[in-house]
Amino acid sequence: MSRDDLITFFERPSDSRFIERVWRSHSGEAGVFHSIAACHWEMVVTHLAGQTSLTVRGPETVASVAALPAQGEWVAIRFKLGTCMPLLPPAFLRNGNAVTLPAAGRRSCWLQGSAVEYPGFEHAETFVHRLVRAGLVIADPAIDPAAPTRPPDLGTRTLERRFQRVTGLTHGTIRQIERARRATLLLRRGAAIADVVHAAGYYDQAHLTRSLQRFIGQTPAQIASRRVQLSFLYNTDPAPA
């Protein structure tokens, strides 16, 4: 029996310079899913058993296995690289160090002394722009290509340290994660393993397998079989590294 239908995902792009995309999901029965590696930090609103909460979670550099509760609903805002919360930087939140904000009421939570209403799927941009105006979410002008002003030229090593401080990851790790995600999409669309090796820029099948086991938590054959539910996976087309 396929377990790839435990969660139903919907996603949309955003015209905000701070938001990479917005997604929502719903679970039917309880089960287990593979949480795959991700480069971006997120704010996730969880509706479960009559309770609502908002969690801020960071990038994930390895895959993990997690329990999936039945009849849950989630709305998530995935932020662009270079965007961060100074109060909870991505490096602090990385690899499971998520923070759930204290509830202020049924529809709101506390964030730096103020009650903020939980965002919805259609109004995520309004929510984020309020946080931006309050200085709670910022975009580093040295990293954000859409920044209205750019700092003076920085040395390569200085820029890399700044990038890692803001995103919580190195450029190399990001390229590896995005390449593994792309390979996973190709396999799930029915591409042959040998073709995926070439299309995603791997040296050989062994290289592909090691990468997918680390970042997706499965071998290429397991991914192609679609027998295990994966976390949110969307179309991405990174340059091979």
**CATH number of residue 85's parent domain:** 1.10.10.60
**Tell me: the pLDDT tens digits for 167-209?**
999 999 999 999 999 999 999 999 999 999 999 999 999 999 9
Domain span including residue 239: 1-241
Q: How far out from the chain centre does Cα 127 lie? A: 18
Residue 75, pLDDT > 50, answer yes
What stretch of H or E contains 225?
helix 220-225
Instruction: Give the predicted TM-score (pTM) of the model.
Output: 0.87
pLDDT at 237 over 50: no
Q: Which residues pair with 31 in a beta bridge?
A: 68
Beta strand 229-230 with 31-35: parallel, antiparallel or unpaired? parallel
Q: How confident is the model at residue 136 (pLDDT cuts 50, 70, 90)?
A: very high
- In this prediction, residues 113-123 reach a mean pLDDT of 94
The reported pLDDT for the residue numbered 4 is 56
Report whether 61 contacts 41 (CB < 8 A).
no
How many domains is the chain built from? Answer: 1
**152 — pLDDT class (breaks 50, 70, 90):** low
Averaged pLDDT score across all residues of the chain: 88
